[in-house]
Structure 1
């Protein structure tokens, strides 16, 4: 079982859209996939028409393997299950602060379904926290969407500094450019600059700023499920091919 985290310390960069579409692409390739939503807003579950979990309250996410497994729900798509979030997840850092070996609690919790899935995809909240440190340790790869703007560049640099300061494996990071607008000179200049500095960290695939992706909330489905022939759907498929190849 492999674990891929869709993570960014900046909000609004297309993180959840990435998690939803990568999980769909991986499942379509034949893998048994669990999309685990760690964000209390529960957007991943919403996109798949799955209601917030009522079983995983308080710290049971980390302590009760039976409830963890029992909270998993099937999706409308073959090979793809969802572990939905709820608002109690906003207190994950408090729960983790009270536990022994707090930085490895997520990795231990995921073992409850080891053998049931080939891939677990984590949709992570946009911050650097105790939960984030758990994600960094549990994940085999960390997919990081980056909008090619100055502020996103700065937050990406902060993430790299955190990895260095905490002796984390920077080789887990797989960054890619998200919500790219081809007509913007700044986007092209920023991508060229960042690829030059961080060439070993950035994937080749670029996800465009697209109305088809924005319509996910209306269709409540991955892009390929309602616009499979459009470029945005193909881009996510290519992104998964790159991520999968890194294993």
Structure 2
């Protein structure tokens, strides 16, 4: 099973769109996928209209568990109406309370919960945090990181900050003599529309390329994405969404084993 965290330390850089798109295109390719919403804003949960399996049975139940949550992800992963191969572990507003969690080994609970999960792929939509319990939970649970960025200064800043956090995480693991299994796959980059690329966009893409591999192709950000997010639908159902779907399908094939 591969576990991919989609990460940036900037907001509004298509992080949720990337996470949802990687998960959904992988499900459409025949993989069994679990999509985890690890962001207190719950953007993935709202978009996919994910409902918990029971009262309080969202990602916060795992992160706040007072007992060892081994295997809990299998129980909390709710079927998605979007695709039979996709399940979602939703987030909740109270997840932000976990930011103050300083229990010993709390950052390992998410990893423990994935044991025995019947899935080929787990995709984690991370919060745009600089470290902290939520980010550390994702870092410990994942074997692959994909940076999400827009062709803008915010996109560059988000990748730069995320890389610093990951380097600090790797250094701390090395000091402990623990294995470092996290691989940086590269960055997905979105830009407005499909027309002529402006100089600021080109400059931002060049800066991102200097930081990490860009997972081609550049993904167009079209108006259908915010429209379907409001409706709780998958843009891949619509002709206007084909260009985005095809781009993310190519990206998915480069990231997913």
Alignment TM class, shorter chain as reference: 0.7 to 0.9
**Equivalent pairs, count:** 239
TM-score, normalised to structure 1, is 0.85
Unaligned 5+ runs, structure 2: 172-179
Distance 1:152-1:61 versus aligned 2 partners, 3 A rule:
same
- SS at the partner of 2:36? strand
Is 1:236 aligned to residue 248 of structure 2? yes
Question: How far apart in 1 are the matches of 2:58 and 2:32?
Answer: 26
Distance 1:193-1:89 versus aligned 2 partners, 3 A rule:
closer
Question: How far apart in 1 are the matches of 2:114 and 2:98?
Answer: 15
Contact persistence 2:58–2:89 (CA under 8 A): no
Mean CA deviation greater in 231-240 or 42-51: 42-51
Mean CA deviation greater in 62-71 or 84-93: 62-71
TM-score, normalised to structure 2, is 0.82
Q: How large is the Cα RMSD of the aligned pairs? A: 2.5
What's the counterpart of residue 77 of structure 2?
A: 72
What's the counterpart of residue 174 of structure 2?
A: none
Contact persistence 1:179–1:208 (CA under 8 A): yes
Mean CA deviation greater in 22-31 or 38-47: 38-47
Distance 1:7-1:164 versus aligned 2 partners, 3 A rule:
closer
Distance 1:192-1:137 versus aligned 2 partners, 3 A rule:
same
Deviation at residue 180 of structure 1 after TM alignment: 4.2
What's the counterpart of residue 188 of structure 1?
A: 202
- 1:118-139 Cα distance to aligned partner (Å, 9 max, x none): 1111111111222212212211
- 1:23-68 Cα distance to aligned partner (Å, 9 max, x none): 1100111111111111122221222222356333796313345765
- 1:54-83 Cα distance to aligned partner (Å, 9 max, x none): 333796313345765433211121211111
Is 1:108 aligned to residue 112 of structure 2? yes
What's the counterpart of residue 131 of structure 1?
A: 134
Distance 1:206-1:115 versus aligned 2 partners, 3 A rule:
same
What's the counterpart of residue 51 of structure 1?
A: 51
- 1:181-201 Cα distance to aligned partner (Å, 9 max, x none): 543221012213432x23x53
Distance 1:232-1:39 versus aligned 2 partners, 3 A rule:
same
Contact persistence 2:107–2:136 (CA under 8 A): yes
Distance 1:42-1:225 versus aligned 2 partners, 3 A rule:
same
Mean CA deviation greater in 82-91 or 70-79: 70-79
Question: How far apart in 1 are the matches of 2:93 and 2:248?
Answer: 29
Unaligned 5+ runs, structure 1: none
Contact persistence 1:42–1:85 (CA under 8 A): yes
Mean CA deviation greater in 24-33 or 228-237: 228-237
For 2:158, which of 155, 163, 180 is the aligned residue? 155
Question: How far apart in 1 are the matches of 2:140 and 2:170?
Answer: 11
What's the counterpart of residue 61 of structure 2?
A: 60
Question: How far apart in 2 are the matches of 1:25 and 1:226?
Answer: 14
Contact persistence 2:59–2:90 (CA under 8 A): no
